[in-house]
Amino acid sequence: MATLKDEITIGGMKLRNRLALPPLTTNYGSPEGKVTDAILRFYEERSRDVGLVIVEATAVQEDGRILKGSLGLWEDAQAEGMARLAKTVKGAGAAAVLQLNHAGARCHPVGGPLQGASPSGVTFNPAVPAFALNEEQIRQLVAHYARASVRAMEAGFDGVEIHGAHLYLISQFLSPLTNRREDRYGGDALGRATFAREVVKAVRDRLGPGAPIFFRLNAVEGGEGGQTEQDALTVAKAMAGAGVDVLDG
């Protein structure tokens, strides 16, 4: 029987053991979304013994940051710092996966055309009025995820994770509490997973068959009318079919 000390291979990524550091929001990024010395120190200290480090939610667009100090990979100028971060994690012996995210209606209010993006205009923060995305804006977001995934791999990361939990944008589409759409991006659990599926497929198409793709997914939402266990299973199967290698929650 395998133990936590045993090696494991995921796609083309070999882990020295089965311990993982999950993505933790540090708020240590620069105002421009770039890697700082504080972030490098944080991950260097925590990469020494684990097999895998999933680096914190990194915005695919400036208007999709969770906090003012969130990392970003929406432009090439951020890639140099990301390369230093990947090198730091891997230099300590861990594999490095970068989590990609757009916070949607839960974003930090910095302005931008997609600030407050959501499936149905459900507002979380009065400072960030939410609006319902149209299909052209959804296609733009899919492309942003795909481009950021390429930048991540070119910076030296071993794989990427799509953040589909915690009621950020993709999670807002998955949840019946925040997705009230009547088009192909809404409806039942499979319909609500359409945006997530399109993101995963676009990333897989850009990265090819060998790069590991992770997906973070809520299980059961506690609120009345929220995502059920069966909904989560439906989404999990859809993500696997779209090209996801690993699901975590």
Instruction: Name 29's Cβ contacts closer than 8 Å, sequence gap at least 6.
Output: 35, 36, 39, 69, 70, 71, 72
The CATH number corresponding to 15-248 among 3.20.20.70, 3.10.180.10, 3.60.150.10, 2.40.50.140 equals 3.20.20.70
Q: What residue spans define the domains of the chain?
A: 15-248
DSSP for 182-218?
-STTSSSHHHHTHHHHHHHHHHHHHH-SSS-EEEEE-
pLDDT (tens, 9 = 90+) of the chain, 249 residues, equals 899 999 999 988 999 999 999 999 999 999 999 999 999 999 999 999 999 999 999 999 999 999 999 999 999 999 999 999 999 999 999 999 999 999 999 999 999 999 999 999 999 999 999 999 999 999 999 999 999 999 999 999 999 999 999 999 999 999 999 999 999 999 999 999 999 999 999 999 999 999 999 999 998 987 889 999 999 999 999 999 999 999 998
Alpha helices in 33-166 (DSSP H): 37-46, 79-91, 135-154
How confident is the model at residue 249, as a pLDDT?
Answer: 87
Q: Look at residue 222 in the predicted model and tell me its pLDDT.
A: 79
- The pLDDT score that the predictor gives to residue 13 is 96
